[in-house]
């Protein structure tokens, strides 16, 4: 890097020496945070469509009562792999991609702290998902015990794809842990002079806390899948009562990972929305410090609420009460966040470009998911909700209209910075409204069928649920098709079609990422900026 001084000084005084390798080698060997961010985001988009296709199989089978298209065993494979692909393949890598692109730009760092690990942690992912998805084509099929793979269904009673599944989860874990280490080291050490902790953009703060959660819980997941592996193939009895084990212990270990995991999938989205709302309200974020404290509180609470996934397993009353109270407490910091966003909008000067629209939808729909979460915490009622479509509705509101809408908002918000061209606003607005309507057709009625008694993970149902299921399936197909508009919009930007973006892009945008040219040059902040 130092030997070549052929760049030109641009208007902002940055050396813009763009000497990346060409062709495949650029992507395969890249240690550039922007290239790796792009790889992560494209991988995530691919997984979104693969996971979405599996969901379409599910919705097609559930369109009518009776078995129409697939065998129940294959249906179980669809729900299992859909969950794994969306959680580990779509949502988590999308956030890592955004972290890669934006954290160095936001804190004034030239790159991520550990660029080679960065390359490795990305390239593990296609291997992991290649292994996982290959099981769909094997005799006996893919894992079919649900993405939560409860023992002993996933051990004694599972197919031989279990070994492939365990290996792929290990790889995903390695990738996530390395990504998290990279984020922490970068934020800790590479902030520009003057970028003190309490000046960090909230997206950086939320990601820092997320990274600590990842390091804390991914090894727990690795532990539990290894126990599944040895129970199935090597004669151990961790989860087999006949050998002195306990099937419920699996759930304790899994959810000790699993509950922080769901915050891993939402905290960065909080950070995104906290960046977007002030930009389009043209007003500083309300309660910055309380946002940081609320994020940290949610992260802490996430470690002591795992039992709320297991209220029907037969816990002692005292344990049930503890988990109920702790879970209800989460509503407090989460509420603070929502109130702060509304207060940020209050007496602002708002405009409603697509990133703002997705963020507003996020606030309303994520909050609906939060309310159903509060209802689920109330144990006597949870006995009726547990393992029904009410739960499916709840976590799709927080994950799809929460995490995924947050990611889509982030893509529209930052893609002018990445590609140098504005996305097509009209196309994006059509995408937004189609998504908003169809996603609610898809997930809102799930509350009703769940309350009326439809269990989750069933390929066929009693006739009383027929109408709403047909309606939800139509919503599902429309939501799936709507995302093709998103794909179209992204491809247009990547091909450079569209209006040139200015450096600041948005009138109300604040932060270092808007100080660099659009598109952001291959190397930025070789000389650290000074933050006042």
User: Of residues 349-388, which lie at the interface with other proteins (CB under 8 A)?
Assistant: 349-352, 360, 363-364, 367-368, 371, 374-375, 378-381, 383-384, 386-388
Picking from 452, 454, 432, 422, the residue whose alpha carbon sits closest to that of residue 519 is 422
163 binds other proteins per the rule CB under 8 A? no
259 is known as an active-site residue: yes
33 is known as an active-site residue: no
27 is known as an active-site residue: no
Q: Does the bond joining 344 to the residue before it have cis omega, within 30 degrees of 0? A: no
Phi, psi of 69 (to 5 degrees): -115, -40
Minimum CB distance to other proteins smaller for 53 or for 349: 349
Neighbours of 425 (CB within 10 A): 14
83 binds other proteins per the rule CB under 8 A? no
**Least CB distance to other proteins at residue 166 (A):** 17
Q: Pick the binder of other proteins from 345, 393, 442, 446 (CB under 8 A).
A: 345
**Least CB distance to other proteins at residue 21 (A):** 44
Q: How far apart are CA 226 and CA 251, in angstroms?
A: 14
**Least CB distance to other proteins at residue 170 (A):** 22
Q: What is the dihedral of CA 219, 222, 228, 231, to 10 degrees?
A: -70
Q: How far apart are CA 414 and CA 300, in angstroms?
A: 30
Q: Pick the binder of other proteins from 159, 258, 369, 402 (CB under 8 A).
A: 159
274 is known as an active-site residue: yes
30 is known as an active-site residue: no
**Least CB distance to other proteins at residue 92 (A):** 23
**Least CB distance to other proteins at residue 463 (A):** 4
Please identify which of the residues 38, 79, 121, 175 carries the catalytic annotation.
175
**Least CB distance to other proteins at residue 143 (A):** 12
261 is known as an active-site residue: yes
First to last CA, the chain: 29
Minimum CB distance to other proteins smaller for 204 or for 326: 326
Minimum CB distance to other proteins smaller for 119 or for 327: 327
**Residue 137: DSSP 8-state:** G
DSSP 455-508: BSS-SS--GGGHHHHHHHHHHHHHHHHHHHHHHHHHHHHHTT-SPBPPSS-STT
Please tell me the count of residues contacting other proteins according to CB under 8 A. Answer: 99
**Least CB distance to other proteins at residue 40 (A):** 31
308 is known as an active-site residue: yes
Q: What is the chain's alpha carbon radius of gyration, rounded to the nearest angstrom?
A: 23
Q: How far apart are CA 110 and CA 339, in angstroms?
A: 35
116 is known as an active-site residue: no
Secondary structure of residue 19 in the 3-state scheme: coil
282 binds other proteins per the rule CB under 8 A? yes
Q: Which residues of 484-523 are buried (b: 16+ CB within 10 A; e: fewer)?
A: ebbeebbebbeeeebeebebebbebbebbbbbbbbbbbeb
User: Of residues 1-40, which lie at the interface with other proteins (CB under 8 A)?
Assistant: none
Neighbours of 4 (CB within 10 A): 8
Phi, psi of 162 (to 5 degrees): -55, -40
Secondary structure of residue 356 in the 3-state scheme: helix
Q: Pick the binder of other proteins from 25, 342, 481, 530 (CB under 8 A).
A: 342
Which part of the chain contacts other proteins (CB under 8 A), choosing from 139-147, 205-213, 417-425, 515-523? 139-147
The answer to whether the beta carbons of residues 15 and 523 sit under 8 Å apart is yes
Q: How far apart are CA 230 and CA 404, in angstroms?
A: 35
**Tokens 């009209």 appear where?**
426
Q: Pick the binder of other proteins from 45, 114, 276, 285 (CB under 8 A).
A: 285
Secondary structure of residue 211 in the 3-state scheme: helix
**Least CB distance to other proteins at residue 75 (A):** 8
175 is known as an active-site residue: yes
Phi-psi region of 343 (alpha: psi -120 to 50; beta: other; left: phi over 0): alpha
334 is known as an active-site residue: yes
* Residues in CB range of 434: below 8 A, 6 or more apart: 478, 481, 482, 485
Q: Pick the binder of other proteins from 28, 71, 197, 500 (CB under 8 A).
A: 71
**Least CB distance to other proteins at residue 350 (A):** 5
Q: Pick the binder of other proteins from 110, 115, 453, 511 (CB under 8 A).
A: 453
**Tokens 């985001």 appear where?**
41
502 is known as an active-site residue: no
Q: How far apart are CA 11 and CA 13, in angstroms?
A: 6
Q: Pick the binder of other proteins from 152, 173, 475, 498 (CB under 8 A).
A: 152
Please identify which of the residues 282, 456, 457, 504 carries the catalytic annotation.
456
Minimum CB distance to other proteins smaller for 430 or for 466: 466
Minimum CB distance to other proteins smaller for 88 or for 461: 461
66 binds other proteins per the rule CB under 8 A? yes
82 is known as an active-site residue: yes
456 is known as an active-site residue: yes
User: Of residues 312-341, which lie at the interface with other proteins (CB under 8 A)?
Assistant: 312-314, 317, 320-321, 324-325, 328-329, 331-332, 335-336, 338-339
Burial class for 372, CB neighbours closer than 10 Å (0-12, 13-18, 19+) = buried
User: Of residues 175-234, which lie at the interface with other proteins (CB under 8 A)?
Assistant: none
Q: Pick the binder of other proteins from 52, 247, 517, 528 (CB under 8 A).
A: 247
The answer to whether the beta carbons of residues 112 and 118 sit under 8 Å apart is yes
Which part of the chain contacts other proteins (CB under 8 A), choosing from 43-51, 113-121, 410-418, 452-460? 452-460
User: Of residues 455-484, which lie at the interface with other proteins (CB under 8 A)?
Assistant: 455-464, 466-468
**Least CB distance to other proteins at residue 211 (A):** 26
Burial class for 377, CB neighbours closer than 10 Å (0-12, 13-18, 19+) = buried
147 is known as an active-site residue: yes
Q: Known catalytic residues? A: 82, 111, 147, 175-176, 259, 261, 263, 274, 308-309, 334, 337, 456
């Amino acid at each position: 890097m130092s030997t070549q001084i052929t760049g030109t000084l641009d208007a902002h005084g940055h050396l813009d020496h763009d000497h990346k390798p060409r062709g495949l080698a650029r992507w395969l060997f890249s240690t550039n945070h922007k290239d790796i961010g792009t790889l992560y985001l494209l991988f995530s988009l691919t997984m979104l469509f693969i996971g979405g296709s599996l969901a379409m199989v599910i919705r097609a089978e559930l369109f009518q009562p009776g078995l129409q298209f697939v065998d129940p065993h294959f249906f179980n494979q669809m729900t299992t792999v859909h969950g794994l692909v969306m959680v580990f393949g779509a949502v988590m890598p999308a956030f890592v991609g955004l972290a890669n692109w934006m954290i160095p730009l936001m804190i004034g760092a030239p790159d991520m702290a550990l660029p080679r690990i960065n390359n490795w942690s990305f390239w593990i992912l296609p291997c992991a998902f290649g292994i996982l998805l290959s099981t769909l084509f094997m005799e006996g099929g893919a894992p079919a015990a649900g993405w939560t793979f409860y023992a002993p269904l996933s051990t004694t009673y599972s197919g031989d794809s279990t070994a492939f599944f365990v290996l792929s989860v290990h790889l995903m874990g390695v990738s996530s842990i390395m990504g998290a280490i990279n984020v922490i080291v970068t934020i800790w050490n590479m902030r520009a002079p003057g970028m003190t902790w309490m000046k960090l953009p909230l997206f950086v703060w939320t990601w820092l806390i997320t990274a600590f959660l990842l390091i804390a819980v991914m090894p727990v997941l690795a532990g539990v899948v290894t126990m599944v592996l040895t129970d199935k193939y090597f004669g151990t009895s961790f989860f087999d009562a006949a050998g002195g084990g306990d099937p419920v212990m699996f759930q304790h270990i899994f959810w000790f990972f699993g509950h922080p995991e769901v915050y891993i999938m939402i905290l960065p989205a909080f950070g995104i929305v906290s960046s977007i709302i002030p930009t389009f309200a043209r007003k500083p974020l309300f309660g910055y410090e309380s946002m940081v404290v609320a994020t940290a509180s949610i992260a802490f609470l996430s470690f002591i609420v795992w039992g709320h996934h297991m209220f029907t397993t037969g816990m002692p009353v005292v344990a049930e009460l503890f988990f109920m109270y702790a879970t209800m407490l989460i509503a407090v910091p989460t509420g603070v966040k929502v109130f702060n966003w509304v207060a940020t909008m209050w007496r602002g000067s708002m405009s409603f470009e697509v990133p703002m629209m997705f963020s507003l939808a996020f606030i309303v729909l994520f909050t609906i998911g939060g309310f159903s979460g509060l209802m689920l915490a109330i144990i006597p009622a949870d006995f009726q909700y547990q393992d029904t479509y009410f739960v499916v509705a709840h976590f799709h509101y927080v994950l799809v209209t929460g995490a995924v809408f947050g990611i889509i908002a982030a893509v529209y918000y930052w893609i002018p910075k990445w590609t140098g061209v504005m996305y097509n606003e009209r196309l994006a607005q059509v995408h937004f409204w189609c998504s908003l309507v169809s996603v609610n057709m898809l997930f809102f009625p799930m509350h009703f069928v769940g309350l009326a008694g439809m269990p989750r993970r069933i390929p066929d149902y009693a006739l009383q649920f027929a109408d709403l299921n047909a309606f939800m399936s139509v919503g599902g197909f429309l939501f799936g098709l709507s995302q093709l508009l998103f794909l179209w919009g992204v491809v247009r930007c990547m091909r450079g079609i569209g209006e040139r973006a200015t450096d600041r892009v948005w009138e109300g945008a604040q932060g270092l990422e808007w100080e660099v040219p659009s598109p952001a040059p291959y190397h930025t902040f070789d000389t650290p900026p000074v933050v006042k």
